[in-house]
Amino acid sequence: MKFLTPAQNYEDQSARLLREKIINKLPDVSFNSYSYLATLVNKNIPKDLTQNLINKKELGFNDNAFKATTLENKIYAIPFASSLPVVYYNMDLVKQAKWNKELPKTWEEIFDLAQKINLLEGKNGVYFGETDTWLILALSLQRGGKLINEKGKVDFSQEAWQETFKLLSDFHTLAKMPAIKRSEAISAFYAGNLGILIQTSAALSQTEKSINFPLKISQFPGMKPGGELPVGGSVVMLTNDKNKEAALKYIHFVTGEANAYVPQYTGYMTSNFLANAKLQDFYDKNYNHTIAPSQINLMGYWPSFPGDNALKATNTLWNYAQKLLMGISINYRDIAQEAQEEINLLLP
């Protein structure tokens, strides 16, 4: 078995696969982000695995496990390491803020607690730890929103998106979110100067190693009936069937019961119920690691923008969201309209 030099990130890995497709040098097996699967399928890179997963329950998967890797009724990848949005709390600051009830289940409660923590000397209440647009999409999808309409365009006038843009603004106007970079916010959280951090569950193990205060994780707040959360993390694909039998054996190994090692050494969760069954002792001793799996029924597809300008469109949405989060603008309706117009010019 030969492992290629790892890419720096999913963007580089996707670009490399696209180049290798052109020169017919694709590897047998590839790992990549859920978010780039549609792009790779459009270029005929991952092979259809549907027939190899007929006995999926024997392999440890239920139907919902492939919801985010199924396109046009074909399964193109198997989940390897999955993550969902969650909320991290510094329980020392929560206690000092005299929050003597259950942790917030709504965004209104998040902002209320953040305001109380803001009153503590030298402390900040909350930070929305976005990296690109994953958490922004979560705000819309949890309300039943759609990224792309039936015309292949974005429509930020829909109610779910209007509420999303308002929430982004509320982080500044109501919660007084500090106007700092995500890396700075994470450092502040580690140092005990930030009370609430909204980010991926994948950061849990690293966070636990980096702090000296009691930490609690809670589910992503504000879910609406029928809402979903975009699954993050990585999937495994068969990208060359030259050595299909051996490649599939490897794929089934790393996504099977051996996948139980993933949650124990990272903050990612396994989508394999056989692997999950082996983790009961681990979960009993590490309650925070049970929070992301408790949302697995909400796990949905991570939508992406269509066309060759997908990355530009993603960056555009992020830039407009930043204007609200950082308080550059407080008119969320205008920001939504401007973002819609600029993004639609980039789409096919």
What pLDDT digit, counting tens, does each position of 109-148 carry?
A: 999 999 999 999 999 999 999 877 999 999 999 999 999 9
What pLDDT shows up at residue 63?
79
What pLDDT digit, counting tens, does each position of 221-272 carry?
A: 999 999 999 999 999 999 999 999 999 999 999 999 999 999 998 889 999 9
Angle in degrees, 0-180, between the axes of helices 159-173 and 107-118, rounded to the nearest 10: 10
d(CA 97, CA 263): 32
d(CA 265, CA 209): 11
d(CA 241, CA 263): 29
Phi and psi of 11, rounded to 5°? -60, -45
Q: Residue ranges per domain, the chain?
A: 10-82+230-300, 85-228+306-346
pLDDT band at 200 (very low <50, low <70, confident <90, very high): very high
Phi and psi of 76, rounded to 5°? -110, -5
What pLDDT digit, counting tens, does each position of 144-162 carry?
A: 999 999 999 999 999 999 9
Contact indicator for 125, 196 with CB cutoff of 8 Å: yes
Which residues, in sequence order, are CB contacts of 52 under 8 Å at separation 6+?
248
d(CA 157, CA 322): 19
Share of the chain above pLDDT 70, in %: 100
What pLDDT shows up at residue 238?
97
CATH 1.10.290.10 fits 10-82+230-300, yes or no: no
Do 10-82+230-300 and 85-228+306-346 have matching folds?
yes
Burial of 72 (0-12, 13-18, 19+ CB in 10 A): exposed
CATH superfamily of the 85-228+306-346 domain: Periplasmic binding protein-like II (3.40.190.10)
